[in-house]
């Protein structure tokens, strides 16, 4: 069964003005769709991989033929990372220090502002194209960068937050000002969803 583009779980104009409708339409409809198409193309001659989920492919990347492994990292990662990203976006769902993830962040980073500062710094200084994540590994929160479309799930860590800092994610609106995009990201991060992911992931 071929991989398909997921439904966008919100209206394309619903994150305005922080993430604009035109950027989302191109990002989802062209870039994300492109990764889906290229993943399907990459595995077309590998019937044993065609019934695997994208999560399985990335978590078991060593089992994918070396002939197409880099393509699966690039395009499968592109599919999974965007699937994840769209699902954690919603406007005006603020950080709650009393939530489970709120308490865990404050325990780890002392304050929410310190967490935001460290996360934005990682997102702003990532060289080239990639992502910045808040992940959970062995019950420990960690801010991580991944380059290109590499996905943290290939490294056995559980993603809780992602920001796409490829230029296609922000350039139409923010031009070269990636730091404005990253500081506005907090207005469109669905902290209820992040809390749910954390509760399901922690042991």
CB 157, min distance to Mn ion, A: 20
Q: Which is nearer to Mn ion, 120 or 164 (CB)?
A: 164
- How many residues form the binding site for Mn ion (CB under 5 A)? 2
> Is residue 164 within the footprint of Mn ion (CB under 5 A)?
yes
The DSSP letter of residue 67 is T
CB 46, min distance to Mn ion, A: 25
Q: How far is CA 23 from the centre of its chain?
A: 16
CB 132, min distance to Mn ion, A: 13
For Mn ion, which stretch binds (CB under 5 A), given 109-117, 123-131, 158-166, 186-194? 158-166
Q: Which is nearer to Mn ion, 22 or 44 (CB)?
A: 22
User: What is the SS3 string spanning 117-159?
Assistant: HHHHHHHHHCCCCEEEEEEEECCEEEEEEEECCCCHHHHCCEE
CA distance 135 to 144: 7
Tokens for 114, please give them. Answer: 């310190």
Binding positions for Mn ion, rule: CB under 5 A: 164, 166
């Amino acid at each position: 069964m071929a991989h398909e583009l997921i439904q966008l779980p919100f209206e394309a104009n619903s994150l305005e003005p922080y993430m604009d409708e035109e950027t989302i339409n191109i990002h989802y409809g062209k870039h994300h769709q492109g990764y889906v198409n290229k993943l399907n193309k990459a595995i077309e001659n590998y019937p044993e991989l065609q019934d695997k989920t994208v999560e399985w492919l990335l978590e078991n990347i060593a089992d994918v033929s070396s002939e197409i492994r880099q393509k699966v990292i690039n395009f499968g990662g592109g599919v999974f990372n965007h699937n994840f990203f769209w699902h954690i976006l919603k406007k005006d769902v603020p950080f709650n220090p009393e939530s489970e993830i709120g308490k865990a962040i404050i325990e780890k980073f002392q304050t929410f502002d310190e967490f935001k500062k460290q996360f934005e710094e990682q997102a702003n200084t990532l060289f080239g194209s990639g992502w910045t994540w808040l992940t959970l590994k062995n019950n420990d929160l960690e801010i991580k960068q991944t380059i290109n479309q590499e996905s943290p799930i290939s490294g056995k860590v559980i993603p809780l937050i992602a920001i796409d800092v490829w230029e296609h994610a922000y350039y139409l609106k923010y031009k070269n000002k990636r730091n404005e995009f990253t500081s506005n990201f907090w207005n469109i991060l669905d902290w209820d969803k992040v809390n749910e992911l954390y509760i399901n992931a922690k042991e």
